[in-house]
Chains A and B, each alone.
Chain A
Amino acid sequence: MTLNLSIAMTHLLARKRQTAVSLSGIVLGVAFFLAVASLMRGSELDFIERLIDTSPHITVSDEYRSADLQPVRMRFPKAAVELRSVKPQTEVRGIRGWQQKMDFIDSLADLQVAPVLTGSVVLTFAGRNQGATLSGIVPERMKEVSTIEDDIMAGSLDELAANPNGIAIGQALAERFDLEMGDNLNVSTPDGTVRAMKIVGIFRTGNANYDESQTFTLLKRAQLLLNRPNRVNRLIIQLENPYRAREVASLIEQRIGYKALSWLEANEDIMAVLTVRNTIMYSVVAAILVVASFGIYNTISTIVMEKTRDIAIMKSMGFHARDIRRIFVIEGLVLGLIGIVFGIVLGLGLMWILGQVEIKVPEMADSERLPLYYGLDQFILAAVFALLSSVGASYFPARKGARVQPVDILRGAA
């Protein structure tokens, strides 16, 4: 053991109660830091995971990022004469050449893509009406890009694929209309087409509005019903790594021209709220450690005060000011390191207890446990912050100790 470390340890061991009090501050600080951060990060990641699972990672829609220039503006870009009442060019809705565009997206690595044609319809059964969204899908592709297959409670997407006149509806709608599998439902489109379709699937996502107003049929059937032959208005993309969504969306948009919206962009406000929430959370838990470090400051200050004469005698022996500074900083470091080790153990204990808490959501059949995050990064963050606080708290009294002039003390003691 080096000389400075052995002196530091002697100081700490000579004041066991005071050392234990400062240590407990750091232990509790680190433990609460870990428990709170684990809970907050866990809930954040759980939320993002649900967001990623329930919404497409990228949606290519039949829109452009900025509106196209009208022909008259293209023809006379710097017109001196103002033209009024020019009839704008009407865009036919839908993604043009969607199959070629989908082939291009398919050629990109680590993603799945599915075409969708969505339109508004009115569902009629036993004289009751309900406005709904009809999505025409390709079942084998849709399975790859959404969790709808997992949400199906009766029937399946395969049955939808096998039945060109089939429709999958939400459980809320089925309950409202008292519908069951195999029942027929009238689907009316805005242009007046009415078709009776057979219920081949009932799903439940947990989102009441979605379950009441969303329906699925085959893409070909939707194109016929909505009178949009050979058109789709959305390409839904699911990535192996959802966090590449922004970069991949940008690449797709540059290449095919249509607006490609990543889930990150679509939920920018929510992500911003999460960032703010994290900043607040880390500020609060860091404040706990800063408060805890005052315990160390107090202990080291007291030792420095009590040891002024020893400092003077050590300096008269030939110890440098930096040796004295190091001795007291080592004391803070030792308290910090021991505090971190015990703090992590206690923190893991608190996290385990939190992990046992079960929450029962009234609408959900199963109870849920609190989502916790066990990532190494938060342990490193807690340790680094605790260490910085400990060293910072010991540095100032250490500096004061190093400035002691032996003559001032010896003269006073004589």
Chain B
Amino acid sequence: MSGGVDSAVAAARAVEAGHEVVGVHLALSRMPGTLRTGSRGCCTIEDSMDAQRAANIIGIPYYVWDFSERFKLDVVDDFIAEYAAGRTPNPCMRCNERIKFAALLDKAIDLGFDAVCTGHYASIQTDAAGNRELHRASAWAKDQSYVLGVLTAEQLEHSMFPLGETPSKAEVRAEAAERGFSVATKPDSYDICFIPDGDTRGWLAERVPASAGDILDREGNTLGRHEGAAAFTVGQRKGLQIGTPAADGKPRFVLEVRPITNTVVVGPKEALAIGLIAGSKFTWTGLAPEHPGIAFDCDVQIRAHADPVPAVAQVVSVPVPAGADSAGAGATDAGAIELVITPREPLTGVAPGQTAVLYVGTRVLGQCTIDRTVSAVPVPSAAVEPAPVAVPAARA
């Protein structure tokens, strides 16, 4: 129970469904703020008190469980390390993967509980054979199935999302008000809970060491200098401070951040269109596809609130890179396997570190942390990096 309206209503519904429910608030910081500011929806003592008041009204016991050490290691430090490595991580997914449905669930099961129940907007359904499936919430606008894409079959067995079938958030708020919860009108939380003022860039700048490096074009020509590669995100246009304009006079955008060489690659907007994404860290949400090595149709979603895009996905063996000049970015261990996703129309605003979640209809099929992307627009001059050859993996 975060202290927000969703988890409070979820807890109340779980009680009414006949479950024996205990309210647990996760302490994720050893130095919590005292009072909530702005749109923060968790992590302060005020939020913990809000959660407790809701638990009192529901009539369930309430405890604070301290996961601050795990949270720091698995979410906050990971967030910093990913940024320093030039990737764009999603800390909420990491928290679901490592804390809420891992450390918390493990502890709960060890202490005799059956499941973790949260206020996420997502729906668990069962297929004809009794396997659990994760689906989008009925309220598409509030759907949070994307951030739950990291759940495995085993985690789904021990998860409950009582808000999944609710038509709208307004309905949840109305129910909270009816139940007398003080948090019925509490603002939704946005942004990243451990960055109190919402200034992610400033927060990172204090934690990721920066050193000056080159800004290159796609052909490898040096266009200018930057103050630190990690400060740039793919798709960024402002703040490049390149003196000479592009030959065609059009604005330039960040296409790639290469932390190993501390360089930033820029190019025209069209080059942001991504024709292929791939990663070696992928999981299946529930039952895995029967033949993941054979290309299959799905939809791919690359951000929590992005639209899904039709795609073809396939698990392939990664060939041993030819030559020893693999430049680091995108290079994968020989013998590894990779999930390769080819959207039927190019994606924009996608960067390594982000998570691609695959859907079939409303069902969440699985997810993959993006290791590398391939532009849909070829580099004008000689190919700098040959597109990898997809080789079907042996059938499992």
Binding between chains A and B:
no
User: Which residues of chain A have a CB within 8 Å of any CB of chain B?
Assistant: none
User: Which residues of chain B have a CB within 8 Å of any CB of chain A?
Assistant: none
